[in-house]
Structures are given as C-alpha cells and as structure tokens.
C-alpha cells in the first residue's frame, strides 16, 4: 500500500474516534427515528428522518475520509447510480456508457430514462479513449469494466471530456478508493456499490457518491432528500464496521488473486484467463457453459452467487444475465480465505475436469 492510501486508512479509522468525548461509544450508535424534537423555527439540521440521520452521517464521514471528498450515502449502488444520472442530465442530453460495464446502469437508461428523453450510447471500454465525446453531457466510466475487466485511462478521457463540457462519472465499485482514486485523476464524481468490497461481508446493500464539486454535491443531496433515498441506519452501521477492515481485506484478496492467476495461467482446463493486474476479480473462460458450471458447483471454496467483493470467494457465469461474454466465462471474486488453501482447492477441482 502506498503512503497516500496508508494516510487515508489512518484518517478513516480515526475519523470518528478522534472526535469523541469520554463516555461516548467507539462505534456509531444505530439511531432509528423518523422524527427529531423540532419546535418553533427550525435551527437544527436534524429535522426529519428522510433528510438526515446520525448513523448515516457517521458512515458518510468515514467514506469521505477515504474518498477525500464530500460523500452522500444511498441504500444501494443502483440508488447511487440513479442519483448520479438524475443530477447530471436533463431531457435532450446524451450519456456515454460502457457496453461492457454493469448492465443494470444500461437498463436504467434504456427502460426508464430514455422515456424522459435522456438518450445514451454504449461502447466497449477499450474504445472510449478514441471516441468523439462532444455529443455527451455525461461520460460514464467503469475501469476495470465489470465483468469484461478491460481498462481505460480516467485521466486522459477526463481531459477530453472536460474540453467538451461533459461531466465524468466513474463507477469505482471494483477497485474502491484504496486501489483507484478517480477524483484525483480528473473525474467529477465517483459512484460506488458499497454492497461489494467496501462493506465486504455480503450482508447489506449500500452505495455512495463522492464529489468535490459543490454544485453537484448539492444536486445529489437534493435528489436524495426529495426522492426519499436515504439509507437505513442499520445498513449504515454495517458499512461503517465493514470499511474499518477494508484495507486488510483488500490486501489478502488482491494478493490471493495475483497468486491464483500465476498458478492458473496456461492450464489446459482454461480457454483464457483475464486479470487486469489489480484488484480481486478474475475472469476465467472455460470451453463450455457445462464446464464453467461444474467448477462453480463442485469447488468447495467457491460460493455460487452473483455479486463480488465479499470475504467468501464467489463466482458466477455472467452470460446467465445476458452480459456480452462467452457462455463459459466465469467471474471469480477472490475472497479472504487463506491464500494457499484457497488456491489448492481450486486447483484440485480443476484437475477433476
Ligand atoms: C459495478 C457495479 N455498479 C453498480 C452496481 C449496483 O449495486 P447494487 O447491487 O448495490 O445496487 C453493481 C452491482 O453488481 C456493480 O457491479
């Protein structure tokens, strides 16, 4: 971990504890309320549960310390994606999205926002750098793309997008602010599904948006308030607790992913292997759907499920959702199990194929 990430983790872990007085709990209390005492002319920010909640604020403060940017939390990654698009577009605008990125973002644009005259084009991540960005109000990036795991340069695309007046939004779910900081690379806004590695235990849905642009921050906050998409305090508590160990978990997950890739490369059972050199998600292509399903079902250390970024190693065949990948493509999310035991178990199952 570089010095900057180390400083971010120190700040995040101590963001709350350094502010406490004697007798206060180290973790954020789970405050469940719809109402606050509010008499006369309101002179407190604590007005109503849809506007503000102390547990949500504590989680936002911790994420703010990692993102180094004001942060608004949401009840899921898709709630954050929706807020980002609602805050950055108006009727008549065009959005550029990756055709190999998270598919529900495209479903939102195609099935819902197109009806409000917000149009979009979807092109592969590897082609975005050479695309004319002038028609777009928003350029949406996801690098590495999920599930294709292709990369693009946030810095150079942000430069071209800015020149044509577009807002650059990066869905940073697969890397988190400890592995990639899009705002430092020129992006206007970061969106994340904290359901994945940020919370890390696969026990809640969550999302956030971080931006250093005051106007965008105000629009996002307003959207959350009027659309009623404030997250639940209990989920906020789980995310606060989860991100305290984000750096440790990522360290194990990324080291194991790298070691696994070294050991699997060139194996006869694999048609191809894709790993962007960073992160914990690995793309494995087997010769057929049947072989891919066998490794997922038969390997005792692989939990068959959608989603990624949790402590359990998990995998799924992404073609089952209609992603543009081979039928035998498996997205493997490497978890926190002991590295050698994990790799040996996967190797042993591969040998039975
Ligand atoms: C890259 C990416 N962005 C956004 C989302 C949506 O997040 P959520 O499932 O928390 O709504 C996902 C979920 O898989 C994702 O993979």
- Residue-wise pLDDT for 102-160, tens only, equals 999 999 999 999 999 999 999 999 999 999 999 999 999 999 998 989 999 999 999 99
Q: How confident is the model at residue 29 (pLDDT cuts 50, 70, 90)?
A: very high
Which atom of ligand 1 approaches the CA of 307 most closely? 14
The pLDDT value given to residue 2? 82
Taking alpha carbons only, the member of 28, 20, 25 closest to residue 244 is: 28
User: In the predicted model, is pLDDT for residue 1 greater than 90?
Assistant: no
pLDDT at 308 over 90: yes
Instruction: Say if residues 289 and 319 touch (Cβ distance below 8 Å).
Output: yes
Rg, Å, the chain Cα set: 21
What rounded mean pLDDT belongs to the chain?
97
Interatomic CA distance for residues 92 and 69, integer angstroms: 30
Looking at residue 314, its pLDDT comes to 98
The band of 47, judged by pLDDT with boundaries at 50, 70 and 90, is: very high
Relative to beta strand 167-171, strand 138-141 is: parallel
Q: If you average pLDDT over residues 74-92, what whole number do you get?
A: 98
Instruction: Tell how far the Cα of 257 is from the centroid of ligand 1, in angstroms.
Output: 21
Average pLDDT over residues 226-248: 98
pLDDT score for 301: 98
Q: How does pLDDT run across 161-186, given as a tens digit for each residue?
A: 999 999 999 999 999 999 999 999 99
Beta bridge partners of 332: 282, 315
**pTM of this structure:** 0.97
Q: What is the CA(74)–ligand 1 centre distance, in A?
A: 12
**pLDDT at residue 324 greater than cutoff 90:** no
Pocket residues for ligand 1 (CB within 6 Å)? Answer: 76-78, 81, 102, 142, 146, 171, 173, 193, 195, 205, 207, 307
Specify the pLDDT at position 293: 97
């Amino acid at each position: 971990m570089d010095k900057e990430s180390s400083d971010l983790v120190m700040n995040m872990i101590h963001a709350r504890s350094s502010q406490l007085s004697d007798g206060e709990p180290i973790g954020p209390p789970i405050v469940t309320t719809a109402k606050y005492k509010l008499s006369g002319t309101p002179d407190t920010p604590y007005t109503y549960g849809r506007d503000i909640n102390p547990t949500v604020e504590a989680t936002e403060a911790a994420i703010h310390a990692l993102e180094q940017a004001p942060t608004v939390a949401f009840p899921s990654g898709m709630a954050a994606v929706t807020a980002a698009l609602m805050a950055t577009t108006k009727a008549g605008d065009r959005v550029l999205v990756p055709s190999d990125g998270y598919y529900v973002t495209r479903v939102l644009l195609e099935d819902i926002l197109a009806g409000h005259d917000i149009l979009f084009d979807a092109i592969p991540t590897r082609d975005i750098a050479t695309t004319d960005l002038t028609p777009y109000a928003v350029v949406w990036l996801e690098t590495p793309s999920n599930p294709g795991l292709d990369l693009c340069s946030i810095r150079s695309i942000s430069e071209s997008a800015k020149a044509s007046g577009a807002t650059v939004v990066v869905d940073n779910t697969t890397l988190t602010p400890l592995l990639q900081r899009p705002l430092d690379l020129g992006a206007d806004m970061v969106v994340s599904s904290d359901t994945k590695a940020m919370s890390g235990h696969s026990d809640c849905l969550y999302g956030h948006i971080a931006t250093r642009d005051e106007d965008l921050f105000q629009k996002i906050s307003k959207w959350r308030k009027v659309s009623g998409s404030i997250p639940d305090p209990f989920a906020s508590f789980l995310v606060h607790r989860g991100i305290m160990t984000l750096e440790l978990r990522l360290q194990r997950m990324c080291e194991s992913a790298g070691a696994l890739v070294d050991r699997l490369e060139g194996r006869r059972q694999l048609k191809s292997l894709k790993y962007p050199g960073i992160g914990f998600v690995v793309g494995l292509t087997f010769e057929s759907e049947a072989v891919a399903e066998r490794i997922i079902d038969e390997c005792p250390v692989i939990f068959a499920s959608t989603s990624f970024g949790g402590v359990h190693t998990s995998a799924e065949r992404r073609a089952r959702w209609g992603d543009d990948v081979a039928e035998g493509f498996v997205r493997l999310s490497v978890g926190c199990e002991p590295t050698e035991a994990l790799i040996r178990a996967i190797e042993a199952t591969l040998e039975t194929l």
